[in-house]
Amino acid sequence: MPLQFIRSSLFASPKNLLRTLFLVTKLRSLAMGSYTASSQSSKLFFRQLFEKESSTYTYLLADVSHPDKPALLIDPVDKTVDRDLSLVKELGLKLIYALNTHVHADHITGTGLIKTKSPGVKSIISKASGSKADILVEPGDKVSFGDLFLEVRATPGHTSGCVTYVTGDGPDQPQPRMVFTGDALLIRGCGRTDFQIFTLPKDTLIYPAHDYKGFSVSTVEEEMLYNPRLTKNQETFKGIMENLNLAYPKMMGIAVPANMVCGLQDTTS
Amino acid sequence: MPLQFIRSSLFASPKNLLRTLFLVTKLRSLAMGSYTASSQSSKLFFRQLFEKESSTYTYLLADVSHPDKPALLIDPVDKTVDRDLSLVKELGLKLIYALNTHVHADHITGTGLIKTKSPGVKSIISKASGSKADILVEPGDKVSFGDLFLEVRATPGHTSGCVTYVTGDGPDQPQPRMVFTGDALLIRGCGRTDFQIFTLPKDTLIYPAHDYKGFSVSTVEEEMLYNPRLTKNQETFKGIMENLNLAYPKMMGIAVPANMVCGLQDTTS
């Protein structure tokens, strides 16, 4: 199935949107009570990394309580692969997975290059993306690294194969939970989500794939209250999204074909 | 006293450098054991914010266990003041201080603009900077917000008035400690520090004023092991620093005079 960028019709389910708006209304009456410095876990090592040209965030996670210190990278960018692998090495981590939230159109994923430079690493993307990777995940799947894991949730809209990775729920897992939303939800800016994300606990820390304003993290509650798109009614939201007049993504013609094979095309030519 | 940018002679004390190099050698034999997901505190709210043009980090800290939710901003940038004040408002925080680590040469501080838009806020800079501000701090001073506080440490070198702000040491304060180094120490890149920073516990989280490679945080131990400048011997380090051939800072002529009066010059013209 070809990749579909759903730009003009962003509603997978108006029912879901209405449910979300109801929740937002309900939350507006609450005091902003869910502050946190950060997620807490004695096992998790976490770093947020930035690629300036495409304003992309790459996330490094590892279970440092495990003897192997198994690690994964979410949404690595080809241009910053050397930085990322060098950091992994310096920290004594063992990179086992390189994950994408979706087929990016604005940069080439680093997964192909990582596999070339670090052959043991497996690439991961959603089955629904229609792309190639070592492991194709489906909603409900778990991606384990040591005693920690990420859950896969389907969040189509920006692309039909977009998934969101959520840290596990349990006594050993990070608290509050952390959610890596890709382009489905951006801080105060919204890509498109089918609102799976807003069913998570309101103190869940949101880590998107991009930020163009310099924010680094948000929470589910903050986005439900202050996201300028998702707090509008359905008609207004539709109007906003249909009138964004976005330029054609600069890297679309280069990035999408390469990312459909997890960035490998770029390294073998 | 005029502001001095000490660019050619970066050693305040070779003795300190030697002590540091000794520590680095000692540390090399240790396994990298001090991983952490982040600093932990039930009181601290923390956000890292980025200004892309100058690659500057601004840090928002607040004591959210206090009824007033008193907050402070470290190294705000004039161009992102609206973003920062909007976030403070959305989160229900009460901004009381806007701090600078030093007189910046690459951007205009946001403190002047913040004071205009939010008159209760007090600006803070070191007395040694020779600049104007509501509060001039000296090494050993504490900047309190609710039950939390920052300690002021002198870290001259990049400028003679550079200070580093360190979160407090105590049961209610964030663990591990967090250190806001300004331009004194950059992740894997080094500005210049008089090595006060390396006397902190090795798991201390380092938050610099800039990063040009997309890193967001590091630790004292990591920088002692992997900082490409500070791990060299004194002669090599001197050679590196004397041969950087840095371009004259683009904003120097505009930013320094404005920042000497905490950015107010810009708002009253």
Whether the predicted pLDDT of B149 surpasses 90: yes
For the stretch B166-179, pLDDT in tens is 888 888 888 878 88
Say yes or no for a CB contact (<8 Å) between A90 and B214: no
Say yes or no for a CB contact (<8 Å) between A90 and B225: yes
Q: Chain B partners of A214 at a C-beta cutoff of 8 Å?
A: 49-52, 58, 80, 83
Tokens matching residue B171: 């049961």
* pTM over the 0.90 mark: no
The span from the CA of B45 to the CA of B8, in Å, is: 39
Question: Measured between CB atoms, does B37 come within 8 Å of chain A?
Answer: yes
> Of A37, A49, A226, which has the smallest distance from its Cβ to B214's Cβ?
A49
CB B65 within 8 A of CB B147: yes
Whether the predicted pLDDT of B122 surpasses 50: yes
| Residue of A50, A147, A211, A224 to mutate when probing chain B, most B C-beta within 10 A | A50
* Closest to B5 (Cα-Cα) out of B207, B256, B228: B256
CB B44 within 8 A of CB B148: yes
Half-sphere exposure of B26 (CA within 13 A, CB side): 8
The span from the CA of B114 to the CA of A91, in Å, is: 39
Whether the complex's predicted ipTM is more than 0.85 is answered with: no
Q: Residue A263: which pLDDT band, with cuts at 50, 70 and 90?
A: low
> Of B47, B50, B217, which has the smallest distance from its Cβ to A47's Cβ?
B217
The span from the CA of A117 to the CA of A114, in Å, is: 5
Question: Measured between CB atoms, does A228 come within 8 Å of chain B?
Answer: no
Q: Chain A partners of B178 at a C-beta cutoff of 8 Å?
A: none
For the stretch A215-250, pLDDT in tens is 777 777 877 888 777 777 878 877 887 787 777 767
Say yes or no for a CB contact (<8 Å) between A40 and B45: no
For the stretch A5-20, pLDDT in tens is 333 233 334 344 334 3
Phi and psi torsions of B181, nearest 5°: -95, -5
Instruction: Please report the pLDDT score of residue B38 as a whole number.
Output: 63
Instruction: Please report the pLDDT score of residue A181 as a whole number.
Output: 83
Say yes or no for a CB contact (<8 Å) between A35 and B213: no
Residue showing tokens 């497996």: A122
B50 → chain A, closest CA residue: A214
Interaxial angle between packed helices B234-242 and B14-28, expressed in degrees from 0 to 180 and rounded to the nearest 10: 110
The span from the CA of A226 to the CA of A171, in Å, is: 30
Say yes or no for a CB contact (<8 Å) between A38 and B37: yes
CB A228 within 8 A of CB A212: no
* Residues near A243 by beta carbon (within 8 Å), at least 6 away in sequence: none
> Of A35, A50, A91, which has the smallest distance from its Cβ to B32's Cβ?
A91
For the stretch A65-82, pLDDT in tens is 999 999 999 999 999 999
* Dihedral sign for Cα atoms in the order A121, A127, A128, A133: positive
More confident: B21 or B242: B242
CB A99 within 8 A of CB A73: yes
Exposure b/e, A76-89, CB count within 10 A at least 16 = b: bbbbbbebbbebbe
More confident: B66 or B160: B66
Across B210-217, average pLDDT? 72
